[in-house]
Structure 1
Amino acid sequence: MGQLTREGFERNAVAYRCVRMIAEAAASVGFRASGAEQELAQLIAQPNSDQAGPDLLETFYGHITVTGDAYLEAVSIDGEVRELFVLRPDRMKALKGPRGWPVAWEHRVGSEVRRIVREADGFSPVMHLRLFHPANDYDGHSPLDAAARAVDIHNAGGAWTKSLIDNAARPSGALVYSGAEALTEEQRAELKSDLDVNFRGAPNAGRPMLLEGGLDWRPMSLSPADMDFVEQRNAAAREIALAFGVPPMLLGIPGDATYANYREANSAFWRLTVLPLVNKAARGISGWLGERVAGGVVADLEGVPAFQEERAEQWARIDVASFLTVEEKRRMAGVGG
């Protein structure tokens, strides 16, 4: 996973932007209490002394988007959960019990190893949220794994472009000597050195080559037009965005005609990618801490601009429903009663 993260996230602009968009958008959606108890919602809003709720959730969502796994640790004092922290997935290892299910976790930082076990009442201090993986019972499936080949193509295209620029923005070729006598080793070395100094690199781009003595330059590589190079990179970029669930239109990638306009693409992004992830986190946290910390949480969509129009339509339908009481309308609108 380390190499995949470096190549797919740290060195690929498309995947990096997809992860940032998903993590930041999901973290902007707050949690509200699903019932009368507010303790869990308040804990998530201020999980520890160093982070606010959105900061912790952005890290949490970022990990699950990149690696397919995300971990939260609950720190308790006298049986009461006081703080929440995100643990890096690459430092976690599931310790399996006799039936094959995780019974504890091993958290490794350098040479230091910490074993996290269930408490006496069965409560696990660690919550593991993962994306579906059909062939692994312990780890989630990373979107980067699904887009690995597209990432390789996109990165190779960038490396090829840089190499082309470094070589005076021309494809490689062969310098053919057709003289009567063969070149000596000294002449070969001198000719190669002259080419490196005077004709290689961006500063020498476009410099004409003066050939004499039976020398002839013959290009050998295919041109970018022959390779349809730009479209190949755009196709790879669209495939990467598809794996993450981000409409290519939102990333400025040409060639995508799935949505009629930016608003439709943005709405699809929130509805099909961001909202399911937020709901998954809300269910996981509520099920994990619901009994230890009073209350449960659900996604609070009131402040999400992408859903404002739909919320207004919902309120309008509720308002004209004459068979509902005022209290019932307030509950259906999500404002209590």
Structure 2
Amino acid sequence: MKSPFRRPWFSTGGRQAVPEIQGTDTRRAETKTASGFAIVSGEGAAQWSGRSYAALARAGFMKNPVAYRAVRMIAEAAAAVPWLAYDGATELAEHPALALLARPNGRQGGPDFFEALYGHLALSGNAYVEPLSIGGSLRELHLLRPDRVSVVEGRDGWVAAYDYRAGGTTRRLAAESGGIALLHLKLFHPLDDHCGFPPLGAAGAALDLHNAAASWNKALLDNSARPSGALVYQPKDGGNLSADQYERLKDELEAGYSGAVNAGRPLLLEGGLDWKAMGLSPKDMDFIEAKNGAARDIALAFGVPPMLIGIPGDNTYANYQEANRAFYRLTVLPLISRTAASFSAWLSEAYGDRLRLEPDLDRIAGLSAEREALWARVGAAAFLSDEEKREAVGY
């Protein structure tokens, strides 16, 4: 185990030795000397995790409970909404597109397929749907993992094709073909013409802060729930510890006083040794509030009310039901609507119909109170005929 202690009192050439500051991000170093010891303090730039799909998936969805729950809430809520098909203003009770969306391929049902699709959008900002046609008829839909797809630009700057890498091979999929081509869904990106920007990317700083707080808390518990410090040697008659004395002291500290097993054990110091705390306590750092603030920023980036995830200190909504309704209205439904518009135009080319797909709002449990209020208002409108009332509520 690497010891956290160093030998700041080791002298060379009559001057106090200063440990070398490693790393290119260190901006300032300051040395303070006194009789028998030296303190080196440095100010360095923060270290951030990557913003690629794989980095966000590992640091966010697979490691951070707030990001994991936010992605699952959006993906599951959006995937559970059923679809309706229209030809112009006429609702279609049956259509091959509805059957295909209910069972996109042999390994996934509709909810599983769309949950993965919305998850790709949340973590990558992009989702790729590859069609499988047999005999000129569209039979299956398959999702391509975003980090395996790269855009191939043409000479005019527009997308010419997509390269998909998997299993050591690369397939090139045309952006436009004689039949139905690859469907690319993306979120708005201000600096990229062809790819989208993920919500979790905007919360990258808060994500790193939340993960670092959890790691710091775990390390603090493993080290007897005490902040870091230094063992200072200040003999009255001067001099330094010998190499053997230093190694023995280091071994005794590691064996007898480090780790959660030795929590609360008193530290016995010999003559000339003194313990100096060098870290802030969790109370001084306002640890809980900082972690909750980072969690609120993550939820804000996804559009999930913090109240729904159980984050304290947020009273934006009067109650849980109001927060849930805002979640559907402001986050879930816009995501479903833009996805439905893309699939409508895409599948219309496959089936040759004026197909229009829309979510079935009557079957969304989170909006049941709004639907009841709408039905009550329309039902009480004596100046409307029954046909006009049906059209007003979406039938």
1:158 and 2:214 correspond: yes
Match of 1:33 in 2: 85
TM-score by length of 2: 0.81
CA contact (8 A) 1:117 1:124 kept: no
Shift of 1:118: 5.2
Q: 1:289 aligns with which of 347, 358, 363?
A: 347
Shift of 1:34: 2.4
1:22 and 2:74 correspond: yes
1:325 and 2:325 correspond: no
Q: 1:137 aligns with which of 193, 198, 205?
A: 193
Deviations 1:216-242 (A, max 9, x none): 211111112112121111111111111
Larger mean Cα displacement after TM superposition, 272-281 or 2-11:
2-11
CA contact (8 A) 1:250 1:266 kept: yes
Structure 1's unaligned 5+ residue stretches are none
Larger mean Cα displacement after TM superposition, 290-299 or 138-147:
290-299
Q: 1:228 aligns with which of 256, 261, 286?
A: 286
Larger relative contact order (CA 8 Å, sep ≥ 6): 1
Shift of 1:256: 1.2
Q: Which 4+ runs in 1 deviate beyond 4 A?
A: none
Shift of 1:124: 4.1
Shift of 1:110: 3.6
Match of 2:5 in 1: none
1:148 and 2:148 correspond: no
Larger mean Cα displacement after TM superposition, 195-204 or 4-13:
4-13
Q: 1:7 aligns with which of 59, 77, 91?
A: 59
Larger mean Cα displacement after TM superposition, 180-189 or 190-199:
180-189
1:116 and 2:173 correspond: yes
Shift of 1:320: 2.5
CA contact (8 A) 2:180 2:350 kept: no
Match of 2:117 in 1: 60
Match of 1:94 in 2: 151
Deviations 1:123-182 (A, max 9, x none): 442111111011101110111221111111111111211111111110111112233452
Deviations 1:36-88 (A, max 9, x none): 44221221111111111111000000100111111111111122111111111
In the alignment, the residues of structure 2 paired with residue 15 and residue 66 of structure 1 have an alpha-carbon distance, to the nearest angstrom, of 10
In the alignment, the residues of structure 2 paired with residue 228 and residue 133 of structure 1 have an alpha-carbon distance, to the nearest angstrom, of 35
In the alignment, the residues of structure 2 paired with residue 77 and residue 48 of structure 1 have an alpha-carbon distance, to the nearest angstrom, of 13
TM-score by length of 1: 0.94
In the alignment, the residues of structure 2 paired with residue 289 and residue 52 of structure 1 have an alpha-carbon distance, to the nearest angstrom, of 18
1:70 and 2:127 correspond: yes
Structure 2's unaligned 5+ residue stretches are 1-51
Shift of 1:120: 4.9
Over the aligned positions, Cα root-mean-square deviation in angstroms equals 1.6
Larger mean Cα displacement after TM superposition, 231-240 or 324-333:
324-333
Count of residues paired in the alignment: 334
Higher helix share: 1
Match of 2:244 in 1: 186
Shift of 1:329: 2.8
Deviations 1:174-197 (A, max 9, x none): 112233452111111111111111
Indicate the percent of aligned positions where both proteins have the same amino acid: 52
CA contact (8 A) 2:180 2:349 kept: no
